[in-house]
């Protein structure tokens, strides 16, 4: 068993000693059987939340309304969720009623795919009610039960199917795939934040091209924000040989670049995905830099404005298109810039006013900007006396 499971064993044992069942469930079991690294360990139990809180001294109510309590054991938190059923799905979204139950089978039945519906005891025994082990062997993503019903209950599962296919390099089983095709429009009913999470995970997974092609082939792409008119561009992205994206900004920058979006276009595209302002800002910068790399117009000022981190990201994407610079050269050119940000400028507005060069107001901002660009472009050194002389000249011009 992986280290993460070994560490959690005492927690499981304590629940069992109190007379309840406890299992590892969800993605960590799937990934363990596949021999992949695992991150978070999910534990499911027949004990009710109140019962869990009686067993352990230190707990946190992280999601008590869904039956999840976090138990702290040797400084690590473990999310322990009571077996539950879900019912009353309305509007193709999440259930409006969850009910705690004592039966493991009931809990596994509500899970999305056969390979996500295993339960593992702390001794390593696996419960596999839906033949998920066979699907794992055959590299198939298959809905638990009737795919059509399951996607009506929660349409996000369609996006999750594509995400897991992309993560594991699996194929979506044919009946499940057919159900996605016929229900793809239901994705419009899903909160965009939930789609966002699955989409970004998909793009950062091992085989994003598979995921993109699945989104096209099932028509799902038509029902996520801003994709409907970009089938060709999505196909182009799916053709990129070494598509590998390590963070969100890269994902959105690649799309914005390929879609040919300008600044305004990027903002409205990403606002429709409810992206954070930070992501929007960085995507705008990164996309512009990719364009400059393509046009071979990346000068010192552009590098300065981009910053090292986004410069490397942009170059990484440029590499996929075949117009990147050597990363080493690019970074050393960046490192050689005389300043990296405004704060390093050797004069400030106060200095210029004191020396009688300019009065407070809009003119001051313009002069400071001219000084900043002048330093970055190497027109003058970042030294106070020299900059004050330069400012005098700028004012005369």
Tell which positions 35-94 bind ligand ATP, by CB under 6 A.
42
- 154 part of the interface to ligand ATP, by CB under 6 A: yes
Task: Report residue 335 as tokens.
Answer: 């490192």
Residue whose CB is nearest to Mg ion in the complex, by number: 27
C-alpha–C-alpha distance, residues 113 and 131, integer Å: 10
Given the rule CB under 5 A, which of 25-33, 215-223, 233-241, 251-259 is the region that contacts Mg ion? 25-33
Contact 228, 222 (CB under 8 A): yes
> What sign for the dihedral angle of Cα 42, 48, 54, 58?
positive
- Total interface residues for Mg ion by CB under 5 A: 1
| Closest distance of CB 20 from ligand ATP, Å | 20
Name the strand (E) or helix (H) holding 127.
strand 126-127
**Single residue of 5, 26, 92, 283 touching ligand ATP by CB under 6 A:** 26
Identify the H or E element spanning 102: none
Taking the least distance from each CB to ligand ATP, the nearer of 84 and 288 is 84
Instruction: Specify the DSSP element, H or E, that contains 393.
Output: helix 384-396
Is 27 an interacting residue with respect to Mg ion (CB under 5 A)?
yes
Please pick, from the candidates 8, 27, 186, 313, the single residue that binds ligand ATP as defined by CB under 6 A: 27
Name the residue among 15, 66, 223, 43 with its Cα closest to residue 231.
223
Dihedral angle of Cα 70, 73, 77, 79, to the nearest 10 degrees:
-40
Contact, 16 vs 22, CB < 8 A? Answer: yes
Closest approach, Cβ 195 to Mg ion, in A, equals 17
Minimum distance from CB of 307 to Mg ion (Å)?
A: 33
* Total residues at interface with ligand ATP (CB under 6 A): 10
Nearer to ligand ATP, 130 or 252 (CB): 130
Partner that binds at residue 116, options ligand ATP, Mg ion, none, CB closer than 5 to 8 Å by kind: ligand ATP
The secondary structure element, H or E, covering residue 14 is: helix 3-17
Q: Footprint of Mg ion on this chain (CB under 5 A)? A: 27
């Amino acid at each position: 068993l992986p280290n993460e499971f070994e560490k959690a064993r005492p927690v499981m044992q304590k629940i069992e000693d109190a007379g309840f069942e406890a299992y590892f469930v969800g993605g960590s079991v799937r990934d363990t059987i596949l021999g992949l690294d695992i991150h978070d360990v999910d534990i499911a139990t027949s004990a009710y939340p109140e019962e869990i809180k009686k067993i352990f001294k230190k707990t946190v109510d992280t999601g008590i309304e869904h039956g999840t309590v976090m138990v702290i054991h040797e400084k690590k938190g473990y999310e322990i969720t009571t077996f539950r059923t879900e019912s009353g799905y309305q509007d193709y979204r999440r259930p409006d009623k969850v009910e705690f139950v004592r039966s493991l089978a009931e809990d596994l039945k509500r899970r999305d795919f056969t390979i996500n519906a295993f339960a593992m005891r702390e001794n390593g025994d696996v419960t596999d009610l839906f033949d998920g082990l066979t699907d794992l062997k055959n590299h198939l993503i298959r809905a638990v039960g009737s795919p059509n019903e399951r996607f009506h209950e929660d349409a996000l599962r369609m996006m999750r199917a594509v995400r897991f296919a992309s993560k594991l390099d699996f194929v979506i089983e044919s009946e499940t795939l057919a159900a996605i095709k016929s229900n793809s429009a239901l994705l419009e009913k899903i909160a965009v934040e939930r789609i966002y999470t699955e989409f970004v995970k998909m793009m950062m997974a091992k085989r994003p091209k598979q995921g993109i092609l699945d989104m096209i082939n099932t028509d799902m792409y038509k029902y996520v924000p801003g994709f409907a008119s970009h089938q060709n561009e999505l196909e182009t992205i799916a053709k990129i040989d070494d598509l590998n994206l390590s963070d969100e900004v890269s994902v959105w920058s690649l799309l914005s670049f390929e879609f040919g979006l300008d600044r305004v276009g990027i903002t409205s595209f990403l606002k429709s995905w409810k992206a954070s302002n930070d992501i929007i800002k960085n995507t705008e910068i990164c996309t512009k830099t990719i364009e400059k790399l393509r046009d071979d117009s990346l000068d010192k000022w552009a590098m300065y404005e981009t910053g090292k981190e986004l410069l490397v990201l942009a170059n990484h994407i440029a590499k996929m298109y075949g117009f990147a610079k050597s990363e080493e050269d690019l970074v050393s050119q960046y490192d050689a810039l005389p300043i990296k940000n405004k704060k390093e400028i050797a004069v400030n507005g106060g200095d210029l006013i004191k020396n009688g060069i300019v009065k407070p107001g809009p003119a001051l901002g313009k002069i400071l900007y001219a000084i900043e660009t002048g330093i970055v472009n190497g027109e003058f050194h970042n030294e106070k006396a020299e900059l004050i002389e330069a400012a005098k000249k700028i004012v005369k011009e």
